[in-house]
C-alpha cells in the first residue's frame, strides 16, 4: 500500500512537471535505407500505409496492385479507392484481407498509381512476406499471465499516465498531439503532424527530434536530413494543426527502429516590442513597431501621423543641484524620483497640421504645418471638447499631458546634466551645446542654426534628438504639464515615488523653454509657472505648446 502511495505521488509530481512546450509522437516502425530499397520484411499483421502527402494536391484515386516476382504470371489489384479519403490515410492489412494467404517466402512488387488532377504518379516497391513466428504468441500469453497478478501494482502507474494526459490537455501554449509515420513502403520520408495550442494565438519556433531507443538518444532532425513544411522556416502560428516532413540523410541510412518516436519542441516567440506607437490622424487607427520607420521620421509623421516613444519605468534624478551655477530660481532641488509605470510620449511636439486634423483649428501665430502648435492654453487642450478629448474619441485610447516628473524623465533620457546630450550649460544665454538641441533666444539672435526663421519657432525635428529619440525637449515651445506645483515644494530632496504635484495649486507648469527664452530657461530642470488665471484664459501666448502622453497600464 505504501509503495502504491509513493508511486502515485511520484506520478503526480511528474505530471506537474509535464507543463512544457514539447510532446512525443506515437512509436512507429522506421526502416533503414537498405530495407526501403531492397526487401521489407512484413509480418502478416503489418499494415501498408498510404498518405495523401505523396500526391500532388488532393488525390482523386489510389490503386495498389501486387505482382509475385517468383511467379511473374500472377498479379492482382489489391484495392482501388477514390476520394474523399478519411483523414488522408488508409492501410491494407495482409492478415485481415483476403490476400492473407499469399505464399510466404515469395517476393512481391507493389505498384501504386496515385491519380491527382491533372497528373498521376507511379510508386514501386518490393516486399517479402515472412510468417510471424508462433513463439511471439507464446511470449504474449506468458506476459499476460505474469502481469495479471500484478494489476493492483499497476494502478498508480495508470493513474500517473492519466494525470499526465490531463495536465497536458489543460496546459496552455504547448504542443498538443503529435503523430508520426514513415511513408512506407513508397518513401523513407517521415510525415509529422502536430498541434499547437495557444489562447493568444502566439507565434512559435519549432524544433524536431527523433529517438530510436525510447528516449535514450535524441537526434535533431534538421542535422540528420532535410526538413520541409510548416515550422521548418520562420515561425508557426498556434491554435491549429501543422504538418512537417523529414527525409533522413546518409547518417541515418543504417538506423532502423520498431519504436521510433518524434519529439516536437515549440517555444513561444516574444512579440516584437511596442517601442513606438503611431496614430494615423486620418482614420484614428493605431499601430506599433519595434523601431523607427525605415527612412526615418518623414514629413507624414509631423502632419498626418503622430508618433510616440515608449519610456520604461525606473528611477532618475529630477531637478538640479543646489550648487549648480546655471540653475534657475524655480528649479526643483535634485532628488531621486521613481516612476512605477511605463508610458508613451510624443517623439515631436504636436504640430499645427496634427492639431488641425484633430480640432479643425489652428490658433498658432507662426504658421506652418510642421511647426509646433502654439497659442494653446491648459484648459483648451485638457477641457471637455478639447484636443485630448477629441483625440481620445478618435482612437479609443486615453491621452493627456505628462506630469512634470514624467516630462523631465523623458527629456533627460538617462542624463543628470542640465542638457540631455550629457553636457552642462556654460552661460546664461547663448551656449554651443544647447544650440545643437533646440530653438532658443541665443540660437536665432546669433544666427547659429536657423536664421531663416529669426525670432520665431521652427519646424519640429530640426535639431538633434536625445538618447531616447525625442526631439525639441529644449526650446521651440514650452510644453504644458498636468500637475500644478506650489513654490514651497522647490527645496524638497527626499526620494519620492510617482511624484504628482497638486492639481489645485496656484500655478500651472510648462517645461523645456521656448524659442525666445535664454539658454538657462531651457535646461532639463527649468520650470516656468504661468499664472493660474492666465492659464485658464484664452491668452494667445505663442510660447506654449503640447506633447502627447499616454500612461501604460501593465
DSSP 208-275: EEEESSTTS--EEGGGSEEEEETTSSS-EESSEEEEEEEEE-GGGTT--EEEEEEEEEEEEPPPPP--
The H or E element spanning position 456 is none
Q: How confident is the model at residue 466 (pLDDT cuts 50, 70, 90)?
A: very high
Q: Could you tell me the sign of the dihedral formed by the alpha carbons of 554, 502, 350, 516, in that order?
A: negative
Using alpha carbons, list the distances in angstroms from residue 349 to 149, 241, 263, 458, 460.
82, 48, 54, 11, 7
Asked whether residue 366 carries a pLDDT value surpassing 70, the answer given is yes
Instruction: Return the percentage of the chain with pLDDT > 70, whole number.
Output: 71
What is the C-alpha to C-alpha distance for residues 90 and 84, in angstroms, rounded to an integer?
11
355, 460 Cβ separation under 8 angstroms: no
Asked whether residue 451 carries a pLDDT value surpassing 90, the answer given is no
Q: How confident is the model at residue 512 (pLDDT cuts 50, 70, 90)?
A: very high
To the question of pTM greater than 0.85 for the whole model, the response is no
| pLDDT computed for residue 65 by the predictor | 79
What is the C-alpha to C-alpha distance for residues 544 and 478, in angstroms, rounded to an integer?
5
What is the C-alpha to C-alpha distance for residues 439 and 526, in angstroms, rounded to an integer?
15
The beta-carbon contacts of 61-64 under 8 Å, at least 24 apart in sequence, are: 61/114, 61/115, 62/112, 62/113, 62/114, 62/115, 63/112, 63/113, 63/115, 64/92, 64/110, 64/111, 64/112, 64/113
Give the three cell numbers for residue 217.
538518444
The beta-carbon contacts of 67-76 under 8 Å, at least 24 apart in sequence, are: 67/108, 67/109, 67/111, 68/102, 68/103, 68/106, 68/107, 68/108, 69/106, 69/107, 69/108, 69/109, 69/126, 70/103, 70/106, 70/107, 71/106
Q: Of the spans 154-158, 229-233, 390-394, which averages the highest pLDDT?
A: 390-394
What is the C-alpha to C-alpha distance for residues 397 and 393, in angstroms, rounded to an integer?
8
| pLDDT computed for residue 127 by the predictor | 63
| pLDDT computed for residue 407 by the predictor | 97
What is the C-alpha to C-alpha distance for residues 401 and 414, in angstroms, rounded to an integer?
21
Instruction: Return the percentage of the chain with pLDDT > 90, whole number.
Output: 42
Lowest-pLDDT range of 46-60, 67-81, 316-330, 340-354: 46-60
18, 167 Cβ separation under 8 angstroms: yes
| pLDDT computed for residue 165 by the predictor | 43
The H or E element spanning position 89 is strand 89-93
Which of 469 and 169 is assigned the larger pLDDT?
469
Lowest-pLDDT range of 129-143, 474-488, 517-531: 129-143
Give the three cell numbers for residue 313.
519605468
Under DSSP, is residue 204 helix (H, G, I), strand (E, B) or coil? Answer: strand
Q: How confident is the model at residue 59 (pLDDT cuts 50, 70, 90)?
A: confident
> Structural domains in the chain?
2-27+134-268 (2.60.40.10), 44-129 (2.60.40), 276-551 (3.90.1580.10)
| pLDDT computed for residue 441 by the predictor | 83
Asked whether residue 36 carries a pLDDT value surpassing 70, the answer given is no
Asked whether residue 452 carries a pLDDT value surpassing 60, the answer given is no
481, 510 Cβ separation under 8 angstroms: yes
Please, where are the H alpha helices in 366-430?
Answer: 378-382, 387-395, 404-412
| pLDDT computed for residue 282 by the predictor | 95
Give the three cell numbers for residue 109.
512488387
What is the C-alpha to C-alpha distance for residues 324 and 328, in angstroms, rounded to an integer?
9
pLDDT in tens, 105-122: 777 777 777 777 666 666
Matching residue, cell 521510433 = 260
The closest of 220, 243, 235, 229 to 269, measured between CA atoms, is: 235
Which of 297 and 531 is assigned the larger pLDDT?
297
- If you average pLDDT over every residue of the chain, what do you get? 79
Under DSSP, is residue 346 helix (H, G, I), strand (E, B) or coil? Answer: strand
Give the three cell numbers for residue 223.
542535422
Q: How confident is the model at residue 488 (pLDDT cuts 50, 70, 90)?
A: low
| pLDDT computed for residue 85 by the predictor | 64
> Going by DSSP bridges, is the β-strand pair 28-30/61-68 parallel, antiparallel, or unpaired?
unpaired
Q: What is the mean pLDDT of residues 74-81?
A: 75
Give the three cell numbers for residue 228.
520541409
Which of 489 and 57 is assigned the larger pLDDT?
489
Helix 352-359 × helix 387-395 angle, to 10°: 70
Residues 6+ apart with CB under 8 A from 412: 316, 317, 420, 466, 524
**446 Cα distance to chain centroid:** 50
Q: What is the mean pLDDT of residues 342-350?
A: 98
What is the C-alpha to C-alpha distance for residues 343 and 243, in angstroms, rounded to an integer?
42
55, 114 Cβ separation under 8 angstroms: yes
Q: Of the spans 17-21, 206-210, 299-303, 433-437, which averages the highest pLDDT?
A: 299-303
Amino acid at each position: 500500500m505504501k509503495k502504491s502511495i509513493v508511486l502515485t505521488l511520484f506520478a503526480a509530481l511528474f505530471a506537474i512537471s509535464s507543463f512544457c512546450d514539447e510532446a512525443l509522437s506515437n512509436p512507429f516502425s522506421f526502416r533503414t535505407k537498405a530495407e526501403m530499397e531492397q526487401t521489407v520484411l512484413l509480418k502478416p499483421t503489418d499494415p501498408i500505409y498510404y498518405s495523401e502527402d505523396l500526391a500532388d494536391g488532393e488525390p482523386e484515386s489510389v490503386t495498389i496492385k501486387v505482382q509475385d516476382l517468383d511467379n511473374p504470371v500472377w498479379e492482382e489489384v489489391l484495392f482501388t479507392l477514390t476520394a474523399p479519403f478519411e483523414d488522408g490515410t488508409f492501410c491494407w492489412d495482409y492478415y485481415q484481407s483476403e490476400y492473407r494467404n499469399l505464399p510466404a517466402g515469395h517476393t512481391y512488387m507493389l505498384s501504386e498509381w496515385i491519380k491527382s488532377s491533372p497528373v498521376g504518379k507511379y510508386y514501386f516497391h518490393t516486399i517479402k512476406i515472412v510468417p510471424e513466428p508462433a513463439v511471439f504468441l507464446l511470449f504474449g500469453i506468458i506476459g499476460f499471465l505474469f502481469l495479471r497478478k500484478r494489476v493492483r501494482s499497476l494502478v498508480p502507474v495508470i493513474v500517473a499516465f492519466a494525470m499526465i494526459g490531463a495536465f497536458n490537455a489543460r496546459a496552455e501554449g504547448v504542443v498538443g498531439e503529435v503523430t508520426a509515420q514513415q511513408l512506407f513502403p513508397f518513401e523513407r520520408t517521415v510525415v509529422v503532424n502536430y498541434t499547437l495550442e495557444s489562447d493568444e494565438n502566439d507565434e512559435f519556433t519549432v524544433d524536431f527530434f527523433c529517438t530510436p531507443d525510447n528516449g535514450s538518444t535524441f537526434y535533431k532532425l534538421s542535422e540528420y536530413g532535410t526538413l520541409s513544411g510548416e515550422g521548418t522556416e520562420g515561425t508557426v502560428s498556434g491554435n491549429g494543426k501543422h504538418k512537417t516532413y523529414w527525409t533522413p540523410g546518409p547518417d541515418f541510412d543504417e538506423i532502423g527502429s520498431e519504436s521510433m518516436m518524434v519529439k516536437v519542441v515549440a517555444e513561444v516567440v516574444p512579440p516584437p516590442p511596442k517601442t513606438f506607437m503611431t496614430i494615423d490622424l486620418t482614420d484614428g487607427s493605431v499601430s506599433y513597431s519595434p523601431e523607427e520607420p525605415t527612412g526615418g521620421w518623414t514629413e507624414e509623421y509631423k502632419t498626418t501621423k503622430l508618433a510616440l516613444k515608449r519610456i520604461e519605468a525606473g528611477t532618475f534624478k529630477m531637478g538640479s543641484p543646489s550648487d549648480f551655477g546655471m540653475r534657475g530660481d524655480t528649479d526643483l532641488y535634485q532628488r531621486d524620483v521613481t516612476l512605477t509605470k511605463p508610458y508613451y510620449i510624443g517623439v515631436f511636439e504636436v504640430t499645427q497640421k496634427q492639431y488641425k486634423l484633430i480640432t479643425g483649428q489652428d490658433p498658432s501665430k507662426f504658421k506652418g504645418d510642421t511647426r509646433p502648435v502654439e497659442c494653446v492654453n491648459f484648459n483648451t487642450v485638457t477641457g471637455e471638447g478639447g484636443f485630448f478629448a477629441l483625440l481620445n474619441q478618435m482612437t479609443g485610447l486615453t491621452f493627456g499631458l505628462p506630469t512634470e516628473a514624467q516630462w523631465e524623465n523623458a527629456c533627460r533620457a538617462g542624463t543628470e546634466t542640465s542638457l540631455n546630450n550629457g553636457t552642462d550649460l556654460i552661460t546664461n544665454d547663448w551656449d554651443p551645446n544647447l544650440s545643437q538641441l533646440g530653438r532658443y533666444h541665443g540660437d536665432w539672435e546669433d544666427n547659429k542654426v536657423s536664421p531663416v526663421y529669426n525670432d520665431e519657432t521652427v519646424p519640429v525635428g530640426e535639431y538633434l534628438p536625445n538618447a531616447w529619440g525625442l526631439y525639441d525637449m529644449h526650446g521651440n515651445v514650452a510644453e504644458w504639464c498636468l500637475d500644478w506645483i506650489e513654490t514651497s515644494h522647490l527645496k524638497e530632496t527626499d526620494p519620492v515615488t510617482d511624484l504628482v504635484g497638486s492639481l489645485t495649486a496656484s500655478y500651472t507648469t510648462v517645461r523645456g523653454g521656448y524659442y525666445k527664452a535664454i539658454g538657462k530657461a531651457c535646461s532639463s530642470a527649468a520650470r516656468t509657472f504661468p499664472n493660474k488665471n492666465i492659464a485658464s484664459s484664452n491668452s494667445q501666448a505663442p510660447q506654449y505648446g503640447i506633447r502627447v502622453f499616454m500612461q501604460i497600464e501593465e
